């Protein structure tokens, strides 16, 4: 048997960039650590794989270790000889280039010697790189002598609503992609050959950084290849393909941009602020924004979880489930902030208790200030849809929402250190001494991951008190930061030294 060389995931990595594949194989010292977030993704993928097996009912699974490719190929062939029609993790090796593939499901076309290839993905739509993934698998299985009839992606049906036990027949949907896969075979053949050649070389390939470093994923080796790049570069102010063209011509530095290349709109203001080192303050617009605020003032922020497989009845795959909010209340201008929160500490559907506490704590008048209103308003609309008894009260809260992101996103206030980001994590340290660096949970994704582990029963009970503490500190920080940023806006319009844009 030909020595096996490139796996499916390595092919996808190499398709993005040959150097990334070379580094993966030759520079183990640069291997990125498996973060808790990545581990959570693997775990979700595993859970979805198990449900996909239940979709097909009867079948046999190749269980060889991931490194035992030959063992997996032999087990697959034995299952076929024994007459099995559905083989999970079936494995083949291309006899010429040694590429190898483990397909999620190899399914015999009833009463024939033809097979269908089915790959399971934990997304709701077929993406371009899924086509590349399947094209590689087809290349391997076809090359290994299998007669393949059709290729399918098995993705999550986002219209499925859980009602009792998960129903795999409803949770998944099959999408045929055979035509795309057949059309890509010339490309797979050529790329597999090129990657084999790159891997044989002793020297690290010379590949310049560019748009490829971001698509389809941000490359694991970006810290290595981009070590020389400035923190704020042309890639922060232009779309990636355009930034690549500009960087080739004028370099990565913003300072090297000729006037006629500079972007317009908000990014143009960012560049100007960065180059002259001056804060932008648009007093008139800030004053108009502040004029909309009514007291008592509520600074509000939500944390949500988004399970791929719905946990609660009446919810869909990837539905955002709010489980925590923080609210700082200020009864009059300059008054002390009063903090309240809701954090759901039981492994049950949090939405009803969340909605009740929200309505109770947000009162009936005054502005509800959020940072990026699209998020909180959408969650409120979903709560109103799913809990109609609270719809009127929740819509009344939505009607009072004012978005603190607007002055920063609109560049009515912009600091040269923001690096073209209006995220609260960029704005807060630019204008104050506060930052998120000292918190155990430093961003919403981490809060979501840890809470998901609690909800699924994977977090040891002894760790729950720490989790409650960390979640409280994190969410509280967000609403406190909003109060601080509101003060910053007020002070800026009164500051004599500010630059009026």
Provide, rounded to whole angstroms, the least separation between the CB of residue 421 and ligand SF4. Answer: 21
What is the footprint of ligand SF4 within residues 397-416 (CB under 6 A)? Answer: none
Provide, rounded to whole angstroms, the least separation between the CB of residue 32 and ligand SF4. Answer: 11
Candidates 16-24, 107-115, 262-270, 356-364 — which segment interacts with ligand SF4 by CB under 6 A?
Answer: 16-24
Provide, rounded to whole angstroms, the least separation between the CB of residue 22 and ligand SF4. Answer: 8
Largest Cα–Cα separation, the chain: 85
Candidates 117-125, 219-227, 330-338, 457-465 — which segment interacts with ligand SF4 by CB under 6 A?
Answer: 219-227
Candidates 146, 221, 232, 302; binder of ligand SF4 (CB under 6 A) is: 221
Instruction: Determine the length of the chain.
Output: 501
Q: How far, in Å, CA of 210 to CA of 430, rounded?
A: 28
How do beta strands 100-108 and 114-120 pair? Answer: antiparallel
Count of residues binding ligand SF4 (CB under 6 A)? 13
Q: How far, in Å, CA of 440 to CA of 378, rounded?
A: 28
What is the footprint of ligand SF4 within residues 245-304 (CB under 6 A)? Answer: none
Provide, rounded to whole angstroms, the least separation between the CB of residue 129 and ligand SF4. Answer: 14
Instruction: Between 211 and 402, name the residue whose CB sits nearer to ligand SF4.
Output: 211
Instruction: Between 19 and 184, name the residue whose CB sits nearer to ligand SF4.
Output: 19
Q: How far, in Å, CA of 117 to CA of 112, rounded?
A: 15
Provide, rounded to whole angstroms, the least separation between the CB of residue 206 and ligand SF4. Answer: 10
Instruction: Between 19 and 102, name the residue whose CB sits nearer to ligand SF4.
Output: 19
Three-state SS string over 154-196 comes to EEECCCCCCCCCCCHHHHEEEEECHHHHHHCHHHHHHHHHHHH
Q: How far are the Cα atoms of 127, 351, 355, 365, 439 from residue 392, in angstroms, in the given order?
A: 39, 16, 12, 14, 36
Query: Does 225 contact ligand SF4 by CB under 6 A?
Result: yes
Query: Does 243 contact ligand SF4 by CB under 6 A?
Result: no
Instruction: Between 34 and 374, name the residue whose CB sits nearer to ligand SF4.
Output: 34
What is the footprint of ligand SF4 within residues 129-188 (CB under 6 A)? Answer: none
What is the footprint of ligand SF4 within residues 21-40 (CB under 6 A)? Answer: 23
Query: Does 20 contact ligand SF4 by CB under 6 A?
Result: yes
Candidates 26, 222, 283, 400; binder of ligand SF4 (CB under 6 A) is: 222
Instruction: Between 31 and 183, name the residue whose CB sits nearer to ligand SF4.
Output: 31
Q: Which residues contact 138 (CB under 8 A, 6 or more apart)?
A: 117, 148, 151, 181, 182, 185, 188
Nearest by Cα to 322 from 209, 447, 197: 447
The DSSP annotation for 73-85 comes to HHHHHHHHHTT-S
Provide, rounded to whole angstroms, the least separation between the CB of residue 225 and ligand SF4. Answer: 3
Instruction: Between 23 and 362, name the residue whose CB sits nearer to ligand SF4.
Output: 23
Tokens of 81: 């000889």
Tokens of 107: 């399914």
Provide, rounded to whole angstroms, the least separation between the CB of residue 31 and ligand SF4. Answer: 13
Q: How far, in Å, CA of 161 to CA of 163, rounded?
A: 6
Instruction: Between 225 and 297, name the residue whose CB sits nearer to ligand SF4.
Output: 225
Instruction: Between 87 and 191, name the residue whose CB sits nearer to ligand SF4.
Output: 191
Q: How far, in Å, CA of 9 to CA of 75, rounded?
A: 21
Q: How far, in Å, CA of 198 to CA of 204, rounded?
A: 9
Q: Which residues contact 472 (CB under 8 A, 6 or more apart)?
A: 326, 341, 343
Query: Does 80 contact ligand SF4 by CB under 6 A?
Result: no
Map residue 101 onto helix, strand or coil.
strand
Provide, rounded to whole angstroms, the least separation between the CB of residue 84 and ligand SF4. Answer: 40
- What is the Cα gyration radius of the chain? 27
Query: Does 219 contact ligand SF4 by CB under 6 A?
Result: yes
What is the footprint of ligand SF4 within residues 198-217 (CB under 6 A)? Answer: 207, 209, 212-213
What residues make contact with ligand SF4 under the rule CB under 6 A? 16-17, 19-20, 23, 207, 209, 212-213, 219, 221-222, 225
């Amino acid at each position: 048997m030909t020595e096996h060389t490139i796996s499916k995931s390595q092919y996808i990595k190499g398709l993005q960039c040959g150097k990334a594949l070379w580094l993966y194989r030759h520079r183990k010292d640069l291997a990125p650590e498996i973060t808790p977030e990545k581990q959570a993704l693997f775990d979700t993928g595993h859970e979805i794989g198990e449900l996909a097996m239940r979709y097909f009912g009867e079948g046999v699974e190749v269980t060889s270790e991931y490194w035992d490719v030959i063992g997996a190929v032999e087990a697959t062939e034995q299952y076929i000889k024994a007459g099995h029609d559905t083989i999970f993790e079936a494995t083949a090796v291309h006899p010429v280039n040694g590429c190898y593939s483990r397909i999620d499901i190899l399914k015999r076309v009833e009463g024939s010697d033809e097979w269908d290839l089915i790959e399971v993905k934990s997304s709701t739509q077929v993406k371009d790189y899924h086509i590349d993934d399947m094209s590689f698998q087809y290349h391997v299985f076809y090359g290994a002598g299998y007669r393949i009839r059709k290729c399918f992606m098995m993705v999550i049906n986002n219209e499925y609503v859980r009602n009792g036990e998960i129903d795999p027949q409803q949770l998944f949907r099959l999408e045929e992609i055979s035509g795309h896969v057949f059309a890509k075979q010339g490309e797979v053949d050529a790329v597999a050959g090129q990657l084999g050649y790159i891997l044989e070389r002793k020297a690290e390939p010379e590949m310049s950084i560019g748009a490829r470093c971001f698509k389809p994923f941000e490359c694991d080796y970006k810290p290595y290849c981009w070590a020389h790049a400035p923190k704020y570069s042309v890639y922060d102010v232009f779309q990636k393909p355009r930034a690549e063209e500009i960087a080739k011509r004028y370099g990565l530095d913003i300072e090297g941009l000729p006037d006629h290349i500079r972007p317009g709109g908000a990014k143009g203001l960012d560049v100007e602020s960065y180059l002259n080192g001056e804060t932008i303050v648009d007093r008139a617009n800030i004053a108009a924004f502040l004029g909309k605020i009514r007291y008592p003032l509520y600074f509000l922020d939500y944390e949500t979880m988004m399970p791929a497989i719905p946990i609660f009845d009446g919810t869909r795959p990837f539905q955002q489930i709010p489980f925590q909010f923080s609210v700082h209340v200020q009864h009059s201008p300059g008054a002390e902030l009063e903090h309240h929160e809701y954090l759901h500490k039981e492994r049950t559907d949090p939405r009803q208790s969340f909605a009740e506490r929200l309505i109770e704590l947000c009162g009936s008048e005054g502005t509800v200030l959020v940072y990026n209103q699209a998020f909180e308003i959408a969650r409120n609309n979903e709560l109103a849809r799913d809990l109609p008894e609270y719809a009127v009260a929740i819509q009344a809260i939505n009607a009072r929402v004012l978005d603190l992101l607007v002055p920063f996103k609109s560049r009515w206030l912009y600091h040269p250190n923001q690096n073209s980001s209006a995220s609260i994590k960029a704005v807060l340290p630019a204008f104050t001494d506060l930052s998120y660096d000292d918190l155990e949970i430093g961003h919403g994704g981490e809060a979501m991951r840890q809470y998901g582990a609690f909800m699924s029963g994977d977090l040891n009970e002894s760790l729950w008190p720490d989790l409650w503490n960390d979640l409280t500190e994190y969410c509280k920080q967000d609403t406190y930061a909003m109060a601080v940023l509101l003060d910053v806006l007020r002070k800026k319009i009164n500051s004599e030294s500010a630059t009026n844009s």
